[in-house]
Amino acid sequence: MCYFLFPGISSPLHMTISQSLAKIIEIMANNTPHLSLCVTTTDFEKVAKDVLPEKSWVYASSSAATGLSMRSNLDDWSLINFRPRILRRVDRMDTRRSILGHTSQFPFFVSAMGTLGSSHPGAEPLLVRGATRKGMHTMISTASTKPLEEIMDAHREEQRLLNNQSPANLSFQLYVPEDRARAKSLIQRVKAAGYQSLWVTVDTSTLGKRTADRYLQAQENLNADQGGSARDIHNENDFAPAFGGRQVPGSVDAGLTWEDLKWISQEWNGPLVLKGIQSVEDVKLAVQHGVQGILLSNHGGRQIHSAPSSLMTLLEIRKYYPEAFDKLQVFVDGGLRDGADVLKALCLGATAVGVGRPYYYALAAYGAEGVERCTDILAEEVEITMKMLGVTSLDQLRPEMINTSRLENEMWRPAFEKSKL
């Protein structure tokens, strides 16, 4: 089964036979497994750990405090089981999804990830080239290594080479800086560059305590005091909130409130999504403030210690405020590693899901080809699971196709039955 999206259109990075042989020789010389040996998304992590510098590995793999929030992200998906239906015709599949008015080839997208230059010298431009070739949307971080205009140029160049046949587009994840003038200028740059939607990060009034980063930073400082030199990561982006365990002063506005959505919306004048919702009460407020979407996320387990998983928050909405799914689009990220996880979220009402670390690791290990391979793996798993569930399109997914009993046992409940959310 082949998941190359545009048959007959050669990739701009398509290799000749001699180039392919050179690539194979290079992989063998570096003892890096051949790309075809990556058959699950977690396979990229193993390879990336071997090729990444220590500082980059710590940055990508670390989480807040003891890692409890990240473990919940990963583990909660296993608490939901499917309830498959049989003897249904499933010889034709449709995995397309409309995300904020734009078609995506798949019900998943690349989540925002900062400083991708720490993963691969091609950084964000290489990531979006691979994603665009697959027809997949990509969210670009305020903390990107490369200028946001250069990243958009890479996307447009890829589209040109594909005769503009890819449904992929780019959205922008915004850290709102303290300086209002700087915030507005950044939004205007994003708008002028042609990004399709703005995803405002709302869970970073301060950065979480990222323990592994702190240990590494402390050791580097100690080495510097002893005559060594602390390693610096070159960053072209002065809007980035941090690299490592410490926050850049003024990079995120701790005074940001719901009222600020008014000026942000006016400045942007396009689809607006809140990234980092973690309770059903805030979902209600998001609806009241008229945003077009919400991303349920605990920042990959990198912010508050003992955060709810995004899946748990999604279940909360399904239980206490199901009307939300008719009022805005609900997105989920955190801990998804398999196409089956994608469909579990969609059964509960999610529009689409974001995938982060697997793409970081795939880019680190194999560049744009790794991004494409990771997409193929997820796409195949989505289709396999759809067939075995007995559905042929994503709009046929229903809550009754999954058993959430185990996860519901751990779900938050109001202290008093008549309490208002």
Annotated binding-site members for glyoxylate: 59, 175, 210, 299, 302
Euclidean distance between CA atoms 89 and 139, whole angstroms: 35
Closest CA to 116 of 141, 134, 148: 141
Distance CA 415, CA 409 (A): 15
Q: How far is CA 154 from CA 16, 48, 123, 356, in A?
A: 22, 24, 11, 20
Which active-site residues does the annotation give? 299
Q: Which tokens is 311 given?
A: 């899946």
Indicate the SS3 state at residue 368. helix
Long-range contacts of 207-210 (CB under 8 A, 24+ apart): 207/241, 207/242, 207/245, 207/246, 207/247, 207/252, 207/303, 208/64, 208/65, 208/299, 208/302, 208/303, 208/304, 208/305, 209/64, 209/65, 209/245, 209/305, 210/62, 210/63, 210/64, 210/244, 210/245, 210/302
- Helices 68-75 and 310-320, packing angle to 10 deg: 60
Residue type present at position 410 = E
255 C-beta neighbours (distance < 10 Å), count: 8
Q: Can you tell me the distance from the alpha carbon of 387 to that of 15, in angstroms, rounded to the nearest whole number?
A: 34
* Cβ atoms of 353 and 107 closer than 8 Å: yes
Which residue, 271, 288, 272, is CA-closest to 324?
Answer: 288
Chain centroid to CA 364: how far?
16
Go through the chain and tell me how many residues it has: 421
Strand bridging mode 102-104 / 108-110:
unpaired
Residue with tokens 């964000």: 124
Residue 5: both structure tokens together: 């999206």
Return binding residues for FMN: 112-114, 141, 173, 201, 275, 297, 333-337, 356-357
Detail the residues annotated as belonging to a binding site: 59, 112-114, 141, 173, 175, 201, 210, 275, 297, 299, 302, 333-337, 356-357
